Structure 1
Amino acid sequence: MSTDKNVRRRNITPTSDPQNTDPLLNQRHLYFDDEFQKPNCCERAFVTNNKIKWYWAPVFLSFWVLLYYAIAIPAYHSLPTPLTIKDEAKYPDRFIAERAEMNLRQLVDLGPRVVGSRANELGAVKFFTGSVQKMRADLGSVFDIEADVQVASGSYIHWEMINMYQSIQNYVVKISPKDSNSTSYLLVNSHYDSVPGGPGAGDDGAMVAIMLETIRVLVKSKKALRHPVVFLFNGAEENPLQASHAFITQHKWAKNCKALINLDSAGSGGREILFQSGPNHPWLMKRYRRAIKHPYASTIAEEMFQRHFIPSDTDFRIFRDHGAVPGLDMAHQYNGYVYHTRYDLPEIIPRGTFQNTGDNVLALVREIANAPELDDTSKYAEGHTVFFDVMGWFLVFYSETEGIILNVIISLAAICSCGYSFKLMAANAGVKLQKVLKRALHTFIVQIIAVFAAGILCFFLGILMDLMHLPMSWFTHSWLILGLYFCPLFFGFAIVPALYFHFTPDVRFPIGHRVQLLLHCHCLFLSLLTLVLTICGIRSAFIFMLTILFYTVALIFNLATKLHNSELAWIIPHIVCSVPPFLFYAYLSHGFFVTFIPMTGRFGAGVNPDLIICAFTVSVGLLTGGFMIPVLNMFRKSKTIICSLLGITLICMILAATPLGFPYRPETNVQRFSVLHTKRTFHDANNNVRRVESGYFLLPQDRRTYSVKKHVLNVTLAQNLHKDCESEMLCGLPLYNHRWHKARASSLWIPAPEPVLGTVPVAKVISKKQISPNKIRYEMQLSGPDHMGLFIQPLNGATITDWSFHRTPLRMNWKPPFFVYFSYGVNGDPLKFWLELERNKGDWTQPAFELGLSGHWNHHEELFTPDFRKFLNSFPKYVDATAWPASYETWHY
């Protein structure tokens, strides 16, 4: 047989048998074309010995990167052209972005709007009143407009604490069609309060401004609505979620609110994502799809949010749990770097954001307010939905039941297609089907090992970066993730099969067929995974179904055209059919990385954020690389190409150790610290002072606490509070909310001069009565600043059997100490409460409980001492320190 280099073969080398008696070599339609036909120009450019020339591998990989940067990223960041006031005459019924922007600037000019502050309780209400008065002056003939200022008190359970509020405010506007007698209202909600020290432009001032402009357009319009619309500007969301609870449980219009559009933010600008729907009301998604102009929605985001992968909560949960109001939950999430910082300013929000969200909200309000389903929404509670947008171009939506059917059909179709391909491989190779199936089983095991090896390698590097004190090196330059984690992941995906191919050669299965076999096994793996997730009721299983669908289409095409028999030609349909799902996954994953990378800056010091990024990388890589990376085995010098991925990783690790990899930048990508200038006073069982100290209580918000050690004053005196956490109730700290409660073990304490405080919290015993030999009742009242915490720990065998607080912790047998968060708005009257305690022996000579009181002056910069200001100024410019004075004091009763 000729060994001329121009002989065309399909990865078959000449047999060692000089007589060439192997019958497989006679199947020329499979493994040989005309032995003496010379390759054409295209083949000479691309192919050598039935493999693609090695230098096309960078082109192949760059092609996918180019798709990501040229198509997926622009699609994600696309915003409409904003309308200005000059356009209003031409478009009288359109949302005007410039007006919304003006609304936001007026609101932010009031300053930080913390519950209890003048800006929140007086300035904001005055601003809304003036805005509504202007709307009344321009009111058309179609609508009536009503406004109400709600002042309310109440309590509820929020995660691990009792959340109490007193005299907090809501500003509520209702627009009603004059010819409508409907008692079913649509509720639209956003909050105007902000975090301490934060301007709150993105969270949630932009949504407030959009609501105001939506009202203006509606009341001037001649287009009537079928149902009234209630716009709730709630004044205590950051406390958290108090004002929405006050409205839905107490307001006169609440019982008529049958559907909800909730508008919130975890960032500043960009497009708003629909990340919660219903629940169990698919008609809302039908209305969303029909009305929305710029769709952006994700079932995956909904399931992640509801499983607490995102460290946030919204008013949507309150309306759902306490009012049984179904709805749509939408939020801005772009540029989360400035979320809850002093850099959350109007200037950084593009005007296109107002137009994008304004167009959507206005259209959605009109659609749902005219929906007949609003008459009785209970008739339309028909199950969950699966929804997602495609590149922002259109929305795909179907019911959960339809999703189950679709997942099962496509998975089974993929399994059958792969099975048929195995049968044809056996027939064409002249071997028994059992042998091909055995080879497929081995390949399937290799693919599973490859997936696990890739994941383990990725997570190993995440741990290694943390051990080298280099976590979050991608925080500013997110492209480093490609080298740090995607490259080793893809290396793991590719090297295991490559080694398997190298050490198990088989003349009957050329490399082209073995790679196809590998791809089939990956398809089978994803099909089984899809079926398992579907059985478990996870709607996000559709994400795997999509890539299976397109792979199966390519496979069926190759089978129908017999391209599967060729060494290389089958790759072309495979790549073509891989482009649509790749673009979708690239678009989707970019949105998740844009959202989650800034969030890692507030996950707390106890979490390695690189592992979170690794988890996303493995998930995205499984989808984007699972059908792409095995093709590298079709290139010459494939193992060298695969190993070069680790070279890219090494380069990125070096870059991560340079200033380029330092996570933070002033104003744009900041590091977060909560800093309380605190006085702590502890009393013994006789209420004599046993310990008093002052200092700076630091709660780091991310992993790299050590990054400020060369800058902050007296940082060498910093102490961890592990001993206090073992000996004192809740570490003896003025914990502000449930997140601080969970992260308290990461706290630091730096001794400092005593702070200047306002009126400190005081718990006064009004009466103490023994109501039975074993029971005693304390009636007390609490006075102090507008943000306080109560920490209650029974002592000496006593148990709390009843109290005036929310009874859930007692009913559910929560483990003490109990945490009660209390705030008030316009009325600072003392809080009256009572406790009943029981002790089996009836001996009340020893204290029955310890009471910790914390006070927070979180909107009183005038109380900052010169020492405190000097300490805060010592933080580097890339740090955003949320700071205020606080007190903590314990008593025994």
Structure 2
Amino acid sequence: MSTAPRRWGPVRSILALLPLLIGAPLLTIRLQYSLPQPLTELYDASTGEPQLSEARILSYAKHLSEDIGYRTVGTREHALGDAWIVQEAKELDEICRKAKERDPSRNLECEWWWQQGSGSHRFDMMNKRLYKTYVNLTNTVFRISNGTPASKEHAILVNAHVDSTLPSPGAADDAISVGVMLECARVLLERRDWEPTYSIVLLFNNAEESLQDGSHLFATQHPVAETVRAVINLEAAGTTGPELLFQATSEQMIEAYSHVPRPFGTIVANDIFSSGIILSDTDFRQFEQYLNVTGLDMAIVGNSYLYHMRKDLVANVEPGVAQHMAENTLALLTYLSSPLSPLPTLATGYAKPRTVFFSHLGVFFVYSYATARVLYSAVFVLSSLLVWNIKGGVRGMKEVGRGIGAVVGGAVGAVVGANVVAVVMRGTGRGMSWFGWEPACLGLYGPAALTGALVSQYLIGPISEHTVLASLLLVQSFLAMVIQLVGVGSAAMFFVTSVPLFVALVLDAIKVTRAGDGVGMWTYALGQVMPLLTGTQVVATVLDVFVPLTGRIGGDAPGENIIASIVAMTGSYTLPLVLPFIHRFGRVKARAVVLSSVATVVMMSIFAARNPFDAMHQKRVFVVHMENVTSGEQHLHVAAADGAPGFREFVHSMAGTFDVNGAAPVERSLGDWDSEWDVLYPFSAFLSPYAIEMPAEEERSASEGKYVEIGAVDDVVDGEKGTRRFRMVVKHPGVIWTAVGFDAHVVKWTLDENPPDEYARHHIKEASFYGVDEWSVDLVVKHDASSPGIKVDFVGIQEQAMWPGKKGEKEAGGGAMRVFERLDAWIERATAGTVDAMLVGCVGGVVVV
């Protein structure tokens, strides 16, 4: 007489699955972060053909970020960067000329322009209404065509920005992208057999970091802009890993991306970015808004701890990063300039993509929403029939209902458990303890999520593992179908995990993957492998973006809870078979809950002792040396943009050293009427600022002519209409990034055609070319005869008072730079290099016009 094989216990079962649980994530991480071998030579040694050279790209990036340096719009370094890219355009033109000389029959023509212009545009951000104005900003534009009007009629635009932002030399952001464009152009021009059917326009724009002024200038004023049918925008928010496709706005461009050799993109990233959850933006916005074109937005995102930081240097760029971006960009340009290109079809516009796309283990999948709806609905129907059959029809549906409750309850319990720990960590002043390493938050919140999921099962009571497994299939296939039916392509996540689970349950039902009673271990292996592979990719990418992001979303933002929820939700997706596995052994064992609870407490204790920051994962601190030219007062305004503990103590220690009276710093609460941080408006809403009183130095005499002056000219009051018409003129010699704020009911102005029809607060920010010291705006406002005028708050950055960007000529920066030299050394000592400080000297005040 035979007996059924004895079921393995939990330890033996886990050990059996351990190779899968370890091997699948490791394989995924290896494939996801694999980069091409960086090439150094400009030509292939065996064929003599031109090839993309990462060494050449990095040499461009190094020259821009280190030889020229901090290229903040309006500085001398910014002008040097502009002059350099003009010289590179001339060299590309020479390469083109020589290519034509070698083969006169080749249909190839190159043209380039140095564009300079002024303009203004509305730039709403973070639910704030903001206006930008600029004077004499520049772009360098290079077009490659076959010389015919037909070729020039349809163009693919590829864009990168030459400038960098205030506290950063910008090697990755965005000098690498500039180098990629130059190198791709060289390779195309030197390929003997390449001729473009449609033109390529390379835009080296000089003002992205000042809120996309350069791309606005091109889109609204350059003569070739009207020929652009699609855009490829190259960006960076990090220094490691493959470049991520995070925006794709048409089916044609998604199909074009399928031709790249190293795809790394997913509709999940597209959906997250387009939702507005990530408060960031790129030049892509200007091309969409003013040219109404489709395109691809791609960026380096790994290790974004260095994003907009001093250490955004070539030395910190991972080998292979530039090669990866260049190979994909070259493939796109080759395809989009070829006879197969969809560019002519985009001349009449484009439609929002109804296409699912994702890269999975290096393979790029693309299919339509219509196909997705059929596939996902079919899987749900088949899953329902399978469950109906194996659970015995109507009689088993009540049990399945409880199983669905167990699955949903487990996911909710995981989120609740993780967030309870998040509240405790933040409440005890130990928030962001996981910041220094993206996967670290899995260690803190993973056990808490598991505990919450386990505890939730007590509400369900005893239930068979098979029922929970079948219910999991129904939930996942139902979510895939419903989410896709409402038009969200990220439903693919649930589709790719429900299909192998369906197969596993079919094989289990016919006893291919099990022997005797219960669910076989092979069923678990088959059902869990795809969630592990897919989930690991999702977890890695999401944490790459969101963990460093918590260092710049504001101290009042629920960053701890955001990360805890991400861990819980992605963990539930990646390890869905944990719940049926727990029910495999009868009631939810108290021992499992105790073990996970102990692990949670242990991890909380370990993380409570961790410092969130280190030398390569620094805290961002913002310091403004403000000279109020109206009151004569000077202050250090100090702020942070994260909720990590210790900032209050840091500022108090700073005040003890630098405050003129040794007094405690004054904590501030910023609103739209607090102007001292307006050079960073509206990002300033994220900041938690303090003010430290500084000794008033006689800067006026030493800096004659370096202060903002605001006045009104052509001033006419119309008493009958109750309006006042005037031109507000802002003169700012030696001062850049001027910003003004004022209250008025504007009837008409030259910024746009739709000022708010009410008395309101208005913010105007300026960014102009080096040496430009005046801008103006014409206004018609409602006027009260009893009013003395309009009160204008103003602030601007002293061009020579930015540390460390102007460190080499610190004497010209006056008192602010003397303070910064001492302060920077003090911060380095006091924090052991764990703080990166933006140090800018500003002047501000109030006038009535």
In the superposition, the TM-score normalised over structure 1's length comes to 0.85
1:129-278 superposed matches below 5 A: 129-130=87-88, 132-133=90-91, 136-137=94-95, 139-141=98-100, 142=106, 143-159=108-124, 160-178=129-147, 181-182=150-151, 183-222=153-192, 223-278=194-249
Q: Counterparts of 1:655 and 1:61 in 2: how far apart (Å)?
A: 28
SS at match of 2:633: strand
The structural deviation recorded for 1:229 is 0.7
SS at match of 1:604: coil
Residue 367 of structure 2 corresponds to 398
Q: Counterparts of 1:762 and 1:61 in 2: how far apart (Å)?
A: 72
The structural deviation recorded for 1:199 is 1.3
Deviations 1:12-56 (A, max 9, x none): xxxxxxxxxxxxxxxxxxxxxx5xx467xxx5xxx4xx4x32323
Q: Counterparts of 2:607 and 2:94 in 1: how far apart (Å)?
A: 58
Residue 619 of structure 1 corresponds to 569
Match of 1:718 among 665, 671, 687: 665
Residue 466 of structure 1 corresponds to 426
The structural deviation recorded for 1:374 is 1.4
Measured at CA, do residues 363 and 649 of structure 1 come closer, stay the same or move farther in structure 2, by a change above 3 Å?
A: same
Q: Counterparts of 1:282 and 1:296 in 2: how far apart (Å)?
A: 17
Whether the aligned pair in 2 keeps the contact of 1:383 and 1:399 (CA below 8 Å) is no
Q: Counterparts of 2:778 and 2:95 in 1: how far apart (Å)?
A: 50
Q: Counterparts of 1:304 and 1:717 in 2: how far apart (Å)?
A: 42
The structural deviation recorded for 1:82 is 1.7
Residue 528 of structure 2 corresponds to 578
The structural deviation recorded for 1:323 is 0.5
Q: Is 1:819 paired with 2:763? A: yes
Q: Is 1:647 paired with 2:591? A: no
Whether the aligned pair in 1 keeps the contact of 2:554 and 2:643 (CA below 8 Å) is yes
Q: Counterparts of 1:351 and 1:629 in 2: how far apart (Å)?
A: 41
Deviations 1:649-694 (A, max 9, x none): 2221111122xx211111x101001110012366xxxxxxxx5532
Whether the aligned pair in 2 keeps the contact of 1:67 and 1:583 (CA below 8 Å) is no
Residue 453 of structure 1 corresponds to 413
The structural deviation recorded for 1:717 is 1.7
Deviations 1:809-860 (A, max 9, x none): 426x6x7211111111145152222322225xxx412235321111112553
The structural deviation recorded for 1:131 is 5.7
Larger mean CA deviation between 880-889 and 757-766 belongs to 757-766
Whether the aligned pair in 2 keeps the contact of 1:837 and 1:848 (CA below 8 Å) is no
Measured at CA, do residues 478 and 328 of structure 1 come closer, stay the same or move farther in structure 2, by a change above 3 Å?
A: closer
The structural deviation recorded for 1:598 is 1.3
Match of 2:455 among 490, 495, 499: 495
Residue 336 of structure 2 corresponds to 368
Paired AA for residue 750 in structure 1: I
Instruction: Provide structure 2 residue ranges, at least 5 long, that are not aligned to the other structure.
Output: 101-105, 657-662
The structural deviation recorded for 1:96 is 1.8
Q: Counterparts of 2:664 and 2:16 in 1: how far apart (Å)?
A: 55
Q: Counterparts of 1:390 and 1:871 in 2: how far apart (Å)?
A: 47
SS at match of 2:674: helix
Q: Counterparts of 1:114 and 1:372 in 2: how far apart (Å)?
A: 37
The structural deviation recorded for 1:130 is 4.1
Whether the aligned pair in 1 keeps the contact of 2:267 and 2:489 (CA below 8 Å) is yes
Match of 1:95 among 42, 47, 52: 52
Residue 656 of structure 1 corresponds to 607
Measured at CA, do residues 394 and 460 of structure 1 come closer, stay the same or move farther in structure 2, by a change above 3 Å?
A: same
The structural deviation recorded for 1:382 is 4.9
1:485-634 superposed matches below 5 A: 485-497=445-457, 500-501=460-461, 504=462, 514-561=464-511, 566-634=516-584
Match of 1:700 among 640, 653, 656: 640
The structural deviation recorded for 1:695 is 0.9
The structural deviation recorded for 1:498 is 5.6
Larger mean CA deviation between 414-423 and 150-159 belongs to 414-423
Paired AA for residue 805 in structure 1: L
Q: Counterparts of 2:371 and 2:228 in 1: how far apart (Å)?
A: 30
Paired AA for residue 204 in structure 1: D
In the superposition, the TM-score normalised over structure 2's length comes to 0.89
Residue 742 of structure 1 corresponds to 685
Whether the aligned pair in 1 keeps the contact of 2:113 and 2:142 (CA below 8 Å) is yes
Paired AA for residue 72 in structure 1: T
Q: Is 1:441 paired with 2:401? A: yes
Paired AA for residue 751 in structure 2: F
Q: Counterparts of 2:9 and 2:726 in 1: how far apart (Å)?
A: 84
Q: Is 1:832 paired with 2:776? A: yes
Paired AA for residue 101 in structure 1: L
Measured at CA, do residues 613 and 598 of structure 1 come closer, stay the same or move farther in structure 2, by a change above 3 Å?
A: same
Measured at CA, do residues 146 and 708 of structure 1 come closer, stay the same or move farther in structure 2, by a change above 3 Å?
A: farther
Paired AA for residue 113 in structure 2: D
Residue 112 of structure 1 corresponds to 70
Whether the aligned pair in 1 keeps the contact of 2:415 and 2:568 (CA below 8 Å) is yes
SS at match of 1:614: helix
Whether the aligned pair in 2 keeps the contact of 1:859 and 1:884 (CA below 8 Å) is no
Q: Work out which of the two has the higher radius of gyration on C-alpha atoms and give 1 or 2.
A: 1
The structural deviation recorded for 1:544 is 1.7
SS at match of 2:198: coil
The structural deviation recorded for 1:519 is 2.2
Whether the aligned pair in 2 keeps the contact of 1:490 and 1:625 (CA below 8 Å) is no
Paired AA for residue 377 in structure 1: L
The structural deviation recorded for 1:742 is 2.6
Residue 121 of structure 1 corresponds to 79
Deviations 1:522-560 (A, max 9, x none): 333334433442343222122122222221121222234
Identical aligned residues as a percent = 22
Measured at CA, do residues 180 and 253 of structure 1 come closer, stay the same or move farther in structure 2, by a change above 3 Å?
A: closer
Whether the aligned pair in 1 keeps the contact of 2:527 and 2:577 (CA below 8 Å) is no
Paired AA for residue 567 in structure 1: D
SS at match of 1:351: coil
Residue 298 of structure 1 corresponds to 266
The structural deviation recorded for 1:470 is 1.1
Q: Counterparts of 1:859 and 1:535 in 2: how far apart (Å)?
A: 57
**Number of residue pairs matched?**
802
SS at match of 1:270: strand
The structural deviation recorded for 1:800 is 2.3
Larger mean CA deviation between 670-679 and 729-738 belongs to 729-738
Q: Counterparts of 2:497 and 2:788 in 1: how far apart (Å)?
A: 65
Measured at CA, do residues 470 and 316 of structure 1 come closer, stay the same or move farther in structure 2, by a change above 3 Å?
A: same
Residue 659 of structure 2 corresponds to none
Paired AA for residue 337 in structure 1: Y
SS at match of 1:663: coil
SS at match of 2:23: helix
1:323-342 superposed matches below 5 A: 323-342=291-310
Whether the aligned pair in 1 keeps the contact of 2:528 and 2:576 (CA below 8 Å) is no
Instruction: Provide structure 1 residue ranges, at least 5 long, that are not aligned to the other structure.
Output: 1-33, 425-432, 505-510, 683-690
Q: Counterparts of 2:216 and 2:645 in 1: how far apart (Å)?
A: 36
Paired AA for residue 179 in structure 2: A
Whether the aligned pair in 2 keeps the contact of 1:57 and 1:635 (CA below 8 Å) is no
Deviations 1:482-520 (A, max 9, x none): 23212221222233336744xx5xxxxxx6xx1111122
SS at match of 1:717: coil
Measured at CA, do residues 56 and 833 of structure 1 come closer, stay the same or move farther in structure 2, by a change above 3 Å?
A: same
